[in-house]
């Protein structure tokens, strides 16, 4: 009896929907699309750069003479070696024409590359321009935990338009 009742209901239902056309369904899916790794990698680098570099932090930097700074646990002889040009930079970063936000990302990437490739010394060329990067870069470098010291570059590495940076690469042996 149950099966007969089901058949009658199916027949009634079939007669009711006879001639009905299906609605066109738009293909919107409301779940979030899966992002590729390449899409969020730049955002991750930007967050990392912003976590190290603050624009409001003012380290104690010299008012006169060449731009220089050393971390408290770094030997003052390292600054002298940077000034004399004893260290040859293995990586060079040219920031000409970049904005501050772009420069932050590039400096962060440079310091990461130095640690990854065991490079003890690098050069950051900021140029003369309006002087904005020349003022900001030392403040940013003084905040980064991997920076041991920096000094205005000697003439052969850019002079007043560049900074030599000494990077703490961990337990790897230092190269000169």
Q: Confirm whether pTM is higher than 0.85.
A: no
pLDDT, one tens digit per residue, over 31-80 is: 666 666 665 556 656 655 556 777 777 777 888 888 899 999 999 899 99
How far apart are the C-alpha atoms of 106 and 131, rounded to whole Å? 18
Phi and psi of 167, rounded to 5°?
A: -110, 135
DSSP-assigned states of every residue in 68-117:
EEE-TTS-HHHHHHHHHT-SPPSEEEE-TT--HHHHHHHHHHHHHHHHHT
Angle between helices 100-116 and 132-143 (to 10 degrees): 40
User: Could you tell me the two tokens for 145?
Assistant: 């935990």
**pLDDT, one tens digit for every residue, the chain (176 residues):** 678 888 888 888 888 888 888 888 777 766 666 666 665 556 656 655 556 777 777 777 888 888 899 999 999 899 999 989 899 999 999 998 888 888 998 999 999 999 999 999 999 999 888 888 998 999 999 999 999 999 999 999 889 999 999 999 877 555 44
* Edge-to-edge strands, sheet with 91-94: 68-70, 147-152, 162-167, 121-125, 91-94
Q: Pick the closest to residue 141 from 65, 44, 74, 64 (CA basis).
A: 74
How far apart are the C-alpha atoms of 100 and 102, rounded to whole Å? 5
User: Could you tell me the two tokens for 62?
Assistant: 């010299």
95 and 106 Cβ atoms separated by less than 8 Å: yes
């Amino acid at each position: 009896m149950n099966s007969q009742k089901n058949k009658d209901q199916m027949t009634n239902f079939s007669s009711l929907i006879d001639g009905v056309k299906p609605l066109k369904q738009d293909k919107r899916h409301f779940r979030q699309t899966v992002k590729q790794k390449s899409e969020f990698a730049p955002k991750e680098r930007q967050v990392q750069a912003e976590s190290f570099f603050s624009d409001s932090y003012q380290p104690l930097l010299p008012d006169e003479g060449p731009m220089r700074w050393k971390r408290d646990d770094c030997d003052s002889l390292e600054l002298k070696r940077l000034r004399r040009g004893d260290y040859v930079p293995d990586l060079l970063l040219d920031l000409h024409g970049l904005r501050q936000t772009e420069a932050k990302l590039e400096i962060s990437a440079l310091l990461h590359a130095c640690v990854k490739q065991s490079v003890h010394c690098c050069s950051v060329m900021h140029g003369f321009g309006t002087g904005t990067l020349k003022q900001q870069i030392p403040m940013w470098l003084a905040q980064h935990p991997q920076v041991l010291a920096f000094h205005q570059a000697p003439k052969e590495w850019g002079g007043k338009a560049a900074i030599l940076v000494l990077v703490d690469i961990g337990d790897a042996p230092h190269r000169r």
